[in-house]
Structures are given as C-alpha cells and as structure tokens.
Amino acid sequence: MLDNFNHLVLPNINLLLRGLSVTAYVCFFAFLLAIALGSVACLVRLYVPFIRVVAIGYIEFCRATPIFVQLLWVNYVWPELFGFPKTVVGAGIIALALQSSGYLAETFRSGIEGLSKGQRDAGLAVGMTNLQIMRRIVMPQVVLVMAPSIVNQMTVVIKSSTLVSVIAIPDLMYEALKLVNTWFEPIEILTSTALMYIVAIFLISILAKRVSDHFRSKFGLAGLV
C-alpha cells in the first residue's frame, strides 16, 4: 500500500496541490461573496419595509435548496436565464455563495437581535447616526459574538465545494477522480484526498477558534454564546 502511495500519490502530488489551490480560490471568493450577500439580505430583512419579503424569500430559498441542486441550477439555468455566469468557476462560486449567504444572513440577524438595545441607545446618545452605529457598534460585536457560526459556515463552504468537480471545475476532488479513472487504484489517491480535506477543515476550525477565543476574552465576551 505504501508502495502504491509512492507510485501514485507522490508523482501526482503537484496535480493534487494544483487542485487544492483551485479549491481554495473558489472557496475564498465564494465566502467573500456570501458575506456581502448575507449582510445585504440581513439588513434588508431587518430594516427595509416592503422589500423585506423579497429578502425573506431569498434567504429561505438559499437555505432550503440543497447545494448540489443549486449548483446544477446556476450552472445550467442561469446562463440562459440571466446571461451569466460565463464560466463554470463563476457558477461554482455563485452557487456556493448563495447557499452560505442564506445561513450567514440568519446568523447576522440573530446576532443583531441578541444585542441589547442599550448599545444602540448609547450610540444615539453621543450623536452617532444609524449607519455609524451599525458600522462601528453593532457589526463588530455581531461578528465577534457570531464568530464560531461564521467559521462553521466557512467549513461548510469547503465541504460543499467538493461538489463543484461535477461541473468540471478542476478542484482537488476533480483531479483526484481523474487520477482514479486513469490508474484504477482508488485506495491511496482517494484516502490522501480525503485526508487533505480533513486536515484543511480541521486546521481552519482550530485557527479560527484560537483567533476568536483571543478576541472574545480580550473584550470580555467569553461565555456570551
């Protein structure tokens, strides 16, 4: 088995690492987009009358549609319907972002609603505008308090990203399956691939937990959630 590992995995490690970098690229931009979309959806849902319904519909649709279905839907239907995305990578990023933005919007909302009214009042009392209060007082606390959920969502994005290989984005999973189909030796290649994902996800959770613990104890927020 070790022999096979030397013959199969090591010579192709560059291929796998290139796949991993595509995974990282897709996940990174998907998560950024998800945060942007999620914040907008959350703010609209909370503060904009009338279009609130649209935001609720958007959030519910994103959360309720399985990622695999969304991925195929964005990839096959959107280009015809909206004229974009033009590339599969674009489709992958959008689908992953849609999915996560729904969850993030709800996470942000529960964070904002959990914040005491006194925090807002204190901002108003010193003459800050609503926008300033949101940006300077509410958001930082929400991000801090919700950090664990946000990180959790980051790992969900990575896990979901394994599916983008299906629409021929050359990510880690894609390269691994290609190797398996060339050599017909699944054990070493797929096990190594699985381990790469596990380690990546594990490292991110640990790192993020460290960082958020640090900030939470620094601001005395430990034990808030």
Among 135, 136, 159, 218, binds other proteins (CB under 8 A): 159
* Contact with other proteins (CB under 8 A) among 28, 60, 130, 222: 60
Other Cβ atoms within 10 Å of 86 Cβ, number: 9
Q: Which residue has the tokens 């090591």?
A: 10
d(CA 135, CA 108): 13
Residue 117 region by backbone torsions, left for phi larger than 0, else alpha for psi between -120 and 50, else beta: alpha
Q: Which is nearer to other proteins, 47 or 68 (CB)?
A: 68
The whole-angstrom separation of Cα 144 and Cα 80 is 41
Report how many residues bind other proteins under the rule CB under 8 A.
39
* Shortest CB 8 distance to other proteins, Å: 13
Contact between 28 and other proteins by CB under 8 A: the answer reads no
Binding of other proteins by 80 (CB under 8 A): yes
Q: At which residue do the structure tokens 């050599």 appear?
A: 183
Q: How many CA atoms lie within 13 A of 90 on its CB side?
A: 8
Which residues in this chain contact other proteins in the complex, by CB under 8 A? 60-61, 63-70, 72-73, 76-77, 80-83, 155, 158-160, 162-163, 166, 173, 177, 180, 186-187, 190-191, 193-194, 197-198, 201-202, 205
